[in-house]
Amino acid sequence: MDPSLSNLLYDDPALYEAVYPTSEKEIPAMAERLFAEHSRAGVRTLLDFGCGTGRHVEYFTGAGMDCVGVDYQDAMVSFARLQRPGHDFRVGDMRTVRLGRTFDAVTCLGWAISNIHANEDLARVVATFAAHSAPGTLLFLHVPNAIAGPEGHGLQRHFTIDTPGFTATAEATYTLEHRTQLLTRERVWHIAGRPPHRDHVRFRLLFPMELELLLAGGGFTVLGMYDNTAARPGDPTGPALYVLARFDGARTDRGSTAPR
């Protein structure tokens, strides 16, 4: 994980909730449709990595799945537990966490895997996915598309927060470090009554074939790769990739830790 990561919305989970009241449903709805189409015996259990405030866990639970959510950030998990009691949320690092069980489906949405930068760490994440998979387990990923905009072209540059208790605007700039495929986004927030607030995050970009090779190394076969939530086939040139894969190989284990 990037120790210098800072994000205005991550720092204030309640604000995150206010800013994104409905937009978290479209992508899990896509995953649900693909699960129904490709699951051999139905998806009854699901593990969500990078669960944040628990929106996706809540959605999938409402769809009849028994879910566990894992996130690296204590504040997000604490807020999720408070906001959505009765759901199972854990603090854990997706490179090392082990729950000691397998699931029918694993998800990693919101570009969460892009916060993992090194090749070895990405392989450890895929090993974590595999450690929680049995033959036939489905994996759904949401990642930035390196082909679409390696320099940040097509990505959001103007941000506005307008809630009853909080307003802010920001402009974003993107810088690509070509050797490491790290795309840095810097935003300067302008908030009434406060000095400008700067946040930044770095996304590891993965090209489609690179991602497919990474997953294959962990025993996963890609079933579909799309640049739209309708799962329309075609050349994936949009800013995000939605990837469905199935676990077919032996599980690997590159280290484990117990979540909290």
Query: What are the DSSP calls for 18-62, one per residue?
Result: HH-SSTTSHHHHHHHHHHHHH-SS---EEEEES-TTSHHHHHHHH
**Closest listed residue to residue 217, CA positions, set 124, 153, 133:** 124
Res 256 pLDDT > 70: no
Q: What is the pLDDT of residue 196?
A: 84
Domain segments of the chain as ranges: 8-146+206-247, 158-203
Tokens 């990693």: give the residue: 108
Domain 8-146+206-247 fold: Rossmann fold (3.40.50)
**Closest listed residue to residue 35, CA positions, set 24, 23, 47:** 47
Strands 66-71 and 166-177, how do they pair? unpaired
**pLDDT band at residue 127 under the 50/70/90 scheme:** very high
Q: What CA–CA distance (Å, rounded) separates 85 from 34?
A: 28
Mean pLDDT for 223-230 is 96
12 compared with 173, residue with greater pLDDT:
173
187 contacts 198 by C-beta, under 8 angstroms: yes
Res 246 pLDDT > 60: yes
Q: What CA–CA distance (Å, rounded) separates 110 from 204?
A: 13
C-alpha angle 51/52/56, rounded to 5°? 50
**pLDDT band at residue 42 under the 50/70/90 scheme:** very high
Least confident stretch, 6-10, 56-60, 75-79, 116-120: 6-10
